[in-house]
Structure 1
């Protein structure tokens, strides 16, 4: 069975996609780093001006899980279906980076920023700094690497732990964010508000 281990060309392409994404975000007038003027490894508040501005925060597990999901998608496309033979499987990582990069650009449009503010627990969201978006692509790549290296059961267990811990601590996670962005549910909004998230 094939693997999704990227070769040097795939890594260069993934880095190129990331670089283009940084240029696009700068052209969109996203701040390079937090407007507070400093960089933190971890920022633990989801509703203040530092959220999504630093290297890691309570949404980092979501990006790691993106990588795990993108690995599963790439495995299905390139390995299970043997699309293009084994020569195609190395392109799983560039595909994952492209998908994450597209999300980072979309996430920082006024339309999506306003949607986050209107329907999610992250009601003070002002978009990401370029550093945070760059880090999010890195965290996604880390999730992809974990899925490449670990047994499926371990990968799924880590994803579930990430979702549960984030839900318990900040009453938000990847699943809740997707639900609230696409099909807002009043009961979820009330539960999140009851936890002093708002």
Structure 2
């Protein structure tokens, strides 16, 4: 059995696997033609304008809370599916799931779906650095969920969803809803009309 840090941490070999998965996703995204960094030529820690060309191009933006919530949800999912199983493989599975989403999200089909069905009319996909950062934000959310009581994690998740709903009229819940089953009234509300 792999050794873990005191307190039930994740062994180094699982971190290395997670990093390898993230690098594989980055290579796939470059191969798909995604720009490594923002085509503006800069790397920003925070891109705060949700409806701008900087969105989904830098290290963090108003969709970063959604990726943290992904981590909360993936922790719960893999805890339920693999209850009692070692922490490392569950963490690697969460990273793999997020990496797979980041690659899928940047396919022409999903980009076009976002543009057609959601408020992301000008969305052209993520930069590679943004996708890698999104995987990192999910991992942070996963680790937070692994350390906090579930009620605290749930409260933080609801708080993040409400914050982004208030600030940008979008969040993970609406994003998934509008991607799967678009509702015109929500699209109009999101556009501020």
Smaller-chain TM-score range?
A: over 0.9
CA-atom RMSD in angstroms? 1.3
**Is 1:101 aligned with 2:93?**
no
What's the TM-score, normalizing by structure 2? 0.93
Instruction: Please give the secondary structure, in 1, of the residue aligned with 2:191.
Output: helix
Which deviates further from its counterpart, 114-123 or 93-102? 114-123
Q: Structure 2 vs 1, CA of residues 4 and 189 (structure 1 numbering), >3 Å: closer, same or farther? A: farther
The alignment of Structure 1 onto Structure 2 pairs a total of residues equal to 187
For residues 134-186 of structure 1, the C-alpha deviation after alignment (integer angstroms, 9 at most, x for no partner) is 00000000000100111111100110011001011110000000000000011
Shift of 1:4: 7.0
What's the TM-score, normalizing by structure 1? 0.91
- Unaligned 5+ runs, structure 2: 1-6
Shift of 1:8: 1.6
Which deviates further from its counterpart, 89-98 or 29-38? 89-98
For residues 16-47 of structure 1, the C-alpha deviation after alignment (integer angstroms, 9 at most, x for no partner) is 10111111011111000000000111111122
Q: Distance in 1 between matches of 2:44 and 2:88?
A: 34
Q: Is the 8 A contact 1:4 1:92 kept in 2?
A: no
Q: Structure 2 vs 1, CA of residues 78 and 42 (structure 1 numbering), >3 Å: closer, same or farther? A: same
Match of 1:14 among 18, 23, 43: 18
The residue that corresponds to 1:117 in the other structure is: 115
The residue that corresponds to 2:176 in the other structure is: 178
For residues 64-97 of structure 1, the C-alpha deviation after alignment (integer angstroms, 9 at most, x for no partner) is 0000000001111222xx4xxx4x4421110000
Q: Distance in 1 between matches of 2:26 and 2:120?
A: 23
Structure 1 residue runs of 4 or more that deviate by more than 6 Å after TM superposition: none
Shift of 1:5: 3.7
The residue that corresponds to 1:144 in the other structure is: 142
Q: Distance in 2 between matches of 1:99 and 1:4?
A: 22
Q: Distance in 1 between matches of 2:117 and 2:93?
A: 29
**Is 1:64 aligned with 2:61?**
no
